[in-house]
Amino acid sequence: MTKIEAIIKPFKLDDVKEALSKIGVQGMTITEVKGFGRQKGHAELYRGAEYIVDFIPKIKIEIVASDALVSEIIGIIQKTAKTGKIGDGKIFVYKIDEVIRIRTGEKGEAAL
């Protein structure tokens, strides 16, 4: 089992979610996050005064999937979340040792 964590632009969430549900991804966790990468934020104008926005709003998607689906999920996220502009995000991939469904006690892939 593998955990895929993707940081994407907020307006791409619906497209990514829809594309992943088409291949059978049944569960994901979405978190609104803020951060910055190489772009180091940007300047904005508010009532004539310029100020620096250090942390850019992003969406973090977390998915735990069977190893057989991982490359397909990563490919879909890359294709769907890409705008070609700076700040498109990142994908992190982690190995998962164990999953346990609290309600039933199921373990491993059966718990997904």
70-81 and 13-22 helices, crossing angle to 10° = 150
Higher pLDDT pick, 68 / 38: 68
Bridge-based pairing state of the strands 56-65 and 2-8 = antiparallel
* Residue 51 pLDDT level (bands cut at 50, 70, 90): low
For the residues 21-31, what does the mean pLDDT come to?
A: 94
Residue closest to 91 by CA, chosen among 99, 81, 101, 83: 81
For the residues 9-22, what does the mean pLDDT come to?
A: 96
pLDDT of residue 99: 94
* Residue 39 pLDDT level (bands cut at 50, 70, 90): low
Distance separating alpha carbons of residues 89 and 15, to the nearest angstrom: 15
| Extents of the domains making up the chain | 2-111
pLDDT of residue 43: 64
Q: Quick check: 105 pLDDT over 80? A: yes
Phi, psi of 42 (to 5 degrees): -155, 165
pLDDT of residue 17: 97
Class of domain 2-111: alpha beta
For the residues 99-103, what does the mean pLDDT come to?
A: 95
For the residues 82-86, what does the mean pLDDT come to?
A: 91
Sheet with 56-65, side-by-side order of all strands? 29-35, 56-65, 2-8, 89-95
